[in-house]
Structure 1
Amino acid sequence: MDSPRNILRAVKAAKRILIPLHLRPDGDSIGSALACEHFLRNLGKTVTVVSADSIPESLLFLPGAKRIKTIDPNDLPLERFDLVFLTDNAASSRFSKAGVIKFPPKVILINVDHHQRNPGFGDLNYVAANASATAEVLYDLFRRWRVPITPEIANCLLTGIYTDTGGFIYPATTADSLIKSADLIRKGADRDRIAEQSFRSWTPKAIQIWSQILANTVVRKNVAYSHLPHTHLRKLNCSQSELAGTRGFAVNNLILAIRGVKAAILFTEEKPRQIRVTLRSVGNADVGKVAEQFGGGGHRNSAAFDYQGPIQKLMTKTVKMVREVLD
């Protein structure tokens, strides 16, 4: 891991900075990126924040969110930038639909993250796997750099921590997460607004999606799984941004909440034979290892991967693999 001093030196030397969000951006991805944007703009930098996927409507309340451009970073003239500041990206292939982007040699890549399996793909890396969220990692960096935490930065960072800990109920929540969150509230973060937008602003469409997921849920001892067929999504005309948060909430707060369940799996058929698999667990069950076998990734208790092929065979194989990490 590179020193915070070296990272700050590179940031100060740069003039034009690109911040790409990871695919299917969530609260930590968006909150961390926008906190960085505010910090960098306050240094007088020219900053561009982009996302290959659209931003969930529930997170557009964040200061600066409407400045995010919906464009794949691979479609930008990358030679115009001096530095790329990546936050919450577990792998170098995670922020562009083109896969791994080859940046011009002069562009410095900074990688700040909290994923356990982040290989340190940047020119400068700061990965703290013990942190609950990348926003928590940035909080620590900002304190070391003596960055003034404005209400705008506080709201962005608290959103990242709050959403990645599920409102402070997921296993990754620590005493440090709570202490830092309390400090962010003191510095101007609106906890009530963040809670409302993150977990209490669901649409009727979301309720219909949950209904389908619950109707298809199967419980086998300590593993529960469900699938969401593409025909249902097509009928609802559900966008990727609408689906992302709705799906995550269903796995974490509905399927995994069943008494006795230690691992939950959701198979979302986004298109025929194009499947997104979301895995969650509690305790020492490492579903991240399962996701890695399919080219995905994440954390021990929270992971995902994409798959192309027949859903039934995939369901059988994945459930078997999850059982093995539970044993």
Structure 2
Amino acid sequence: MDTVSIQNFREVLNDKNTFFLTSHVDPDGDGIGGMIALYHALKALKKDVRMILSGPVGQKYLFLPGANLITTGIPNDLPTDKNTVLLTVDAPNIPRLGFDIESLEALDPYVVNLDHHTSNENFGDLVLMDAKASASCEMVFYLIEKLNLSWTPEMATACYAGILTDTGRFRFSNTRPETFLAASKLLAEGAAHEQIVRLLFEEKSYGRLQLEALVLNSMKKEGPLAWMHCTNSMVERTDCDDTENLVNRLTEIQDVEIAVFLREVKNDLTKVSFRAVNSIDVNQIASKFGGGGHAKASGAKLPYDLETATKKVLQACNDALN
């Protein structure tokens, strides 16, 4: 983030009192962690702050301090003017928030867009953007630092969880020196490293492990392209719908350059996750289907059944490889 953007945000803080924080649909640790860290920071400034999502918080994130304060849906008592700030974290555009667009427009809030995705559409009244940041939570860390706000263990834990999520525990290529500097300071401020690693990356339900087994059994590979899928019947058999980060298992395969995970949602909707291991830009592939993200990690939703979506996605991946 540049100095001008930070100064503009400081002016927003001086001018406005009501903030509601949100993130994209099916938020991960980066979106939720960023919301929570900013919530505590704004509360310390005596602001009226709320956290809202279009859907429920994932079970695995409920241990984060403040996650229990996140509500679902747009509150009925929010002021409908520019004195209310909608601060979006880790969302590339307004539709990705999952709310009814007309309901948001009726609020007519002042919109602050904080994100690190290259696919961000630069929406809002104030854009806080840094495509080089490893995570939105890395941006949140440096924003809080530049504003000279004090850290609490709760803020540090939420922010650290987001950075660990988006860097794959510092394994991904988006990890940079500034990432480690942020992580070091957050640990010094009381981030619960052991708890975060255990609950977000190591501990899994029995159903999740059963689901992984079924999904991995669907795995296929042709040259540098590997893919697998999850059907609704798999979810029903295991009583588990947690497929987060399953696509990363495919990146463990030797000589794979593109990994694809397809999740059947319903007969005419399939969610797709893309991962790149080397130089392929999967953001460009996802954008062909109206999705986006990063060069190394992107996603999209296709209005097709699983079989049709698979054919279209594999063709696009092969085109990119060739």
TM-score scaled by length of structure 2: 0.93
Give the equivalent residue in structure 2 for 1:270.
Answer: 265
Q: CA 1:138–1:228 in 2, change beyond 3 Å: closer, same or farther? A: same
Amino acid in the other structure paired with 2:47: K
Structure 1 CA distance, aligned partners of 2:281 and 2:103? 29
Determine the structure 2 residue equivalent to 1:125.
Answer: 127
Counterpart position of 1:41? 43
CA RMSD of aligned residues (A): 1.8
Instruction: Call closer, same or farther: CA 1:99–1:235 in 2, change over 3 Å.
Output: farther
Q: Does 1:283 align with 2:278?
A: yes
1:87 Cα offset (Å): 0.9
Q: CA deviation at 1:258?
A: 0.7
CA offsets 1:250-272 (integer angstroms, 9 cap, x no match): 211x1111111111101111222
1:229 offset after TM fit, Å? 1.3
Alignment partner, residue 249 of structure 1: 245
CA 1:102–1:55: 2 relative to 1, 3 Å: closer
1:271 partner amino acid:
K
Change (3 A) 1:104 1:111: same
Q: Distance in 1 between matches of 2:300 and 2:275?
A: 12
Pick the aligned partner of 1:230 from 225, 229, 232. Answer: 232
Describe how 1:1-327 pairs up with structure 2 within 5 A: 3-71=5-73, 73=74, 76-80=76-80, 82-99=84-101, 102-104=104-106, 107-239=109-241, 243=242, 247-252=243-248, 254-327=249-322
| Rounded Cα–Cα distance in structure 2 between residues aligned with 1:4 and 1:215 | 48
Range that drifts further, 166-175 or 33-42: 166-175
Q: Which deviates more, 58-67 or 302-311?
A: 302-311
- Flag as ranges the 4+ runs of structure 1 deviating above 6 A: none
Q: Give me the whole-angstrom Cα distance separating, in 2, the residues matched to 1:312 and 1:8.
A: 50
3-state SS of paired residue (2:173): coil
Amino acid at match of 1:190: A
1:202-225, Cα deviation, whole Å (9 max, x unpaired): 111111111111100001010100
CA distance in 2, matches of 1:126, 1:293: 26
User: Are the aligned partners of 1:291 and 1:297 in contact in 2 as well (CA < 8 Å)?
Assistant: yes
- What displacement does 1:99 show? 4.9
Compared with structure 1, are the counterparts of its residues 314 and 106 closer, same or farther at alpha carbon in structure 2 (3 Å cutoff)?
A: closer
Shift, 1:70, TM fit? 2.1
Give structure 2 stretches of 5+ with no counterpart: none
Structure 1 residues without counterparts, runs of 5 or longer: none
